[in-house]
Chains A and B, each alone.
Chain A
């Protein structure tokens, strides 16, 4: 089965933003003018509307365009294929959903991010009626940012509904959607997963572990220092439209195994100044935390707690307070990790003398906030 090219995939992600609002009574998406050679889009019928955001939004049923569906042109390269592109957050209402870090059962029967599920559920009835009628041929699900998370849920849902169909997923700068079991099921169920990112983009670092990505990662740009601009579609800093369009095929993109949370990382306090505000160190610090919890026998306990988000890290702070009082090397390993976290967070001047609950919780908080704030959201775990 033919895959989409990076250029076509990113153009679809771009078009998904353009169908948010009607203009003069019609949907218009200039990005589709370039995709018209390969696909037919009927914007009058195939724009899927959804609701996102607050309780009040749901009451008033304010709807905006969330997804557009196209079909491969007859006798063209993608004849018989369906493409669905989903929009990320381009509306102030949508931003509200982004940091709801709870879990709810998703379409593949495994828990996933409750906010993403809620938005997906608002468009699911329309998707259901479309795909019930159009139930053959390969499907390519595409999206940037929150749109990537929705594309992921769409692909999983469709696989559950029509498991015989080859379904591929293409995401750009997408956040994590679920825990390891969800990510593994996604990889195993789908035909291909092209999870693309810029190394400097903070959004793929969110939500934090125990949220996990699918394993393969396509690096479109490898500049290391985390920066908000690296999440953007447009522009040249570096801009997903620009970087993805430069590749003729996904085979040409640097692909790597990104299951960093399976790596063993133990950090030496004296070497803490090697840490930097990069995604590499965000991953290493996550891995160091998991390694420490594993070494001290707490990993099983933490992974089986029915909590998530901030409460989850609060529980971790309680466990780490116990580690601080353990005999042997574990307290030193923990000091190494916390020291690196402080340097990562831009607080190299803080010297660790005692590891109280209050102090540990504060270090975790400033570390998580450092990434979350670049993404535009304070987590407000501290206090």
Chain B
């Protein structure tokens, strides 16, 4: 019945880089964690440590999947990038990637995950290169100079 176990490439996350400050000062030796939950409900975790400038980077995540690519499946990956400090979690990026292709608009945002821990967490929107009337959206404490529209501040992250 299923002839769909051929392997194919699936993109789960862009390459990530950024800078973490606390009230303008670099946050050094802090663990930055990434959690990806793919369309097979599989969790992938990796992490890195900020350097003396507060900078960090994580590679793009691409997998070879055997998961059936049937029409009846929407392939989406939840992307979560965060750090924990003094028992508080700070969200650098939280959104869903629809499909298994890289999205250039996501690449542009994830290559500049620049945050100050004093920033409030917001839901923001950014341009969709292919469909102008719908925008992408994500939660983050990061700020970008361009293509960054704050929709609202998140008061309670559990909702």
Contact = CB atoms under 8 A, between A and B. Distances in A.
Contacts of B1: 99, 377-378, 380
A202 B133 CA distance: 26
B134 interface: yes
A89 B134 CA distance: 23
A376 B133 contact: no
Instruction: Give the size range of A's interface with the partner.
Output: 35 or more
Given A33-B152, A90-B74, A380-B1, A95 B68 contact: yes
Contacts of A246: 133
A24 B72 contact: no
Interface in A202-233: 202-203, 228, 231-233
B159 A43 contact: yes
B146 interface: no
Contact of A378 (B3, B41, B130, B159): B3
Interface in B130-144: 130-131, 133-134, 137-139
Contacts of A232: 74, 99
Most B-side CB within 10 Å, residue of A23, A94, A203, A245: A23
B70 A90 contact: no
B151 interface: yes
Contacts of B69: 376
A239 interface: yes
A249 interface: no
A88 B69 CA distance: 14
Interface in B53-82: 67-76, 78, 80
Contacts of B27: none
Contacts of A146: 72
A374 B4 CA distance: 12
Interface in A91-139: 91-92, 94-95, 98-99
Nearest to B75: A90
Secondary structure at the A interface, as helix, strand, loop or mixed, is loop
A380 B3 CA distance: 12
A33 B158 CA distance: 12
B8 to A, nearest CB: 14
B139 A235 contact: no
A23 B131 contact: no
A89 B72 contact: yes
Contacts of A375: 70-72
Contacts of A98: 72
Interface residues of B, number: 39
Contacts of B40: 91-92
Nearest to B40: A92
Interface in A242-282: 242, 245-246
B68 A92 contact: yes
A96 to B, nearest CB: 9
B95 interface: yes
Contacts of A202: 71
Contact of A33 (B2, B39, B151): B151
B98 interface: yes
Interface string A20-63: 11011010101101101000111110000000000000000000
A88 B134 contact: no
Interface string B105-134: 000000000000000000100000011011
A176 to B, nearest CB: 14
B28 interface: no
A337 B127 CA distance: 49
A12 interface: no
Interface of B: 1-4, 35, 37, 39-41, 67-76, 78, 80, 94-96, 98-99, 123, 130-131, 133-134, 137-139, 151-152, 154, 158-159
22 contacts: A17-B74, A17-B96, A18-B96, A23-B78, A30-B137, A33-B154, A40-B159, A43-B159, A89-B72, A90-B74, A90-B76, A95-B70, A95-B73, A99-B1, A145-B72, A203-B71, A231-B71, A234-B98, A239-B131, A242-B134, A376-B71, A377-B1
Interface of A: 17-18, 20-21, 23-24, 26, 28, 30-31, 33-34, 36, 40-44, 64, 88-92, 94-95, 98-99, 144-146, 202-203, 228, 231-236, 239, 241-242, 245-246, 374-378, 380
Given A23-B80, A26-B158, A236-B131, 16 more contacts: A20-B41, A30-B123, A30-B138, A31-B137, A33-B123, A33-B154, A88-B74, A89-B72, A89-B73, A92-B68, A94-B72, A234-B76, A375-B71, A376-B71, A376-B72, A380-B1
